[in-house]
Structure 1
């Protein structure tokens, strides 16, 4: 967590607070009406399919934020490979508290584990290359923090977290600004005037645009957007290591390996967070 600036205790607490407000509201009347307040219980987090488990630390924080008296024992580590039948954690205490927090814990962990598992699988496909797998901003509103956390737990890298922590000049920015040179000059001027120390990445759609970026300079990363393999390989030669290169645009599991073998430094895959199947996990009383 300490290496991920967005994962502050304050941010996590705020997320849990809003999620509980959404799901619990004034009260979990199903549990409050059917279970005696003094009833104690215990439950275990059951993994029902193989994959990378993610969200255990978050689950513990959810339990404790709702009811500090709950006793949570984490039995696996976030980011580790688990098999169907494994137990991720146990929780003991007020039965009503366990029931009320169950769905929020599962919703978070199922999705985070699905993302971490997919990230791990795709990483294995390009482990023989220098390319690093990255996520994008194609995330679920109000759940980005957890989705990007899950990517890291699966062995991937976070791209920029949001619009404020890095400049990315994409095709529409360039077109509205009047071209690559104007976009870069305007950006560097704005950052200087506003005393902002942000990295700049610029998108290129063809070799002519790559050549123009190399001529103008003033950036930190070059994105190669929707280029075929031959064009990407030529762009890698043209840049010659002067700037890190990111491949992006419609990259799938079937094309990922070929893209990585073109020699790029990073590959961003939006599907890591917006086309993922959640892992099957349940919370069972015992």
Structure 2
């Protein structure tokens, strides 16, 4: 679910960045009062993400515009599919065009890549989850896009859970000490996850009372051993260097979750265009 207060801030910042003082071209070239109908159309196969965001961008500049979605967010569509039709004052909608397309193309790119990863692990018990490797300022959009692609969210931010990583362990003097400190002060409903890159750390984290383990950059052989050690007592997450080529083998080790930073960090924007048709008498 989108946090619209955060989305509104993103839209305002993106429009301000793109417009500057004035949309000089639209103000000079497009006659005042001209109305037009615009069609959002994908030029490649995609998983759609961000139509409500694109609508909000257009409405920010043209509050009374009409926006009719042709598909639902999360749908997989073929090249040429009409995603939405927008009708209203041409100047205002053209001013909003690039910002709407940027956000829609970026979010759909993430959802499309995410779905490719999800498809690769179909039939296993593993679930794909995202990470905090997001574009600064766009996390709320990017994490929403991963869910539309079929993944689940990990922490939304640092307040979303306790995740004890290698540097925390080094500073605290060991896994047991770090977990003990976390357990003593954590809110009772907050889970504690421990990052392990060795099997002895897996055993130590289990004994210390961790709620979940992150198995970092382990080989598939090590992952199987770690899963056997845990024996279903707590969930385990595999992470580190996961690609479309390796994710299936990782899923088949028996892990519960696989986190992939590439779905937000490396997803290319998809190709979506906006075509205009003047209304009769416009």
Matched residue, 1:9: 4
**Two-structure CA RMSD over aligned residues (Å):** 1.2
Q: Structure 2: any 5+ residue segments left out of the alignment?
A: 278-282
1:273 pairs with 2:264: yes
Q: Does 1:213 align with 2:205?
A: yes
What is the SS of the residue equivalent to 1:277? coil
Q: Give the Cα–Cα distance (whole angstroms) in 1 for the partners of residues 143 and 206 of structure 2.
A: 31
Query: Which residues of 2 match residues 42-191 of structure 1 at below 5 A?
Result: 42-191=37-186
Give the equivalent residue in structure 2 for 1:34. Answer: 29
Residue in structure 2 matched with residue 4 of structure 1 by the alignment: none
Conserved? CA contact 2:3–2:140, under 8 Å: no
SS at match of 2:98: helix
Cα displacement (A) at 1:88: 0.3
CA separation of 1:216 and 1:196: change in aligned 2, threshold 3 A: closer
**Count of residues in correspondence between the two structures:** 277
Map of 1:179-258 to 2, 5 A cutoff? 179-191=174-186, 195=187, 197-217=189-209, 219-258=210-249
CA distance in structure 2 between the partners assigned to 1:196 and 1:213 by the alignment: 18
Query: d(CA) in 2 for partners of 1:200 and 1:17?
Result: 36
1:109 positional shift: 1.0
Aligned mates of 1:186, 1:155 — CA distance in 2: 35
1:196 to partner: Cα distance: 7.0
Q: Distance in 1 between matches of 2:194 and 2:22?
A: 49
**How far off is 1:197 after superposition?**
4.0
**1:105-140 deviation per Cα after TM superposition (whole angstroms, max 9, x unaligned):** 111111111111111111111011000001111111
Gaps of 5+ in 1: 2-6
What is the Cα deviation at residue 66 of structure 1? 2.3
Structure 1 Cα separation of the partners of residues 32 and 7 of structure 2:
28
Q: Distance in 2 between matches of 1:170 and 1:37?
A: 58
Q: 1:224-256 CA distances to partner (integer Å, 9 max, x unpaired)? A: 111111111011111011110000011111110
TM-score (norm 2): 0.95
- 4+ long deviations beyond 6 Å: none
> How far off is 1:190 after superposition?
3.0
Distance 2:269 2:12 in 1: 23
CA deviation after TM superposition for structure 1 residue 258, in Å: 0.3
- Quick one: which of 260, 266, 279 aligns to 2:251? 260
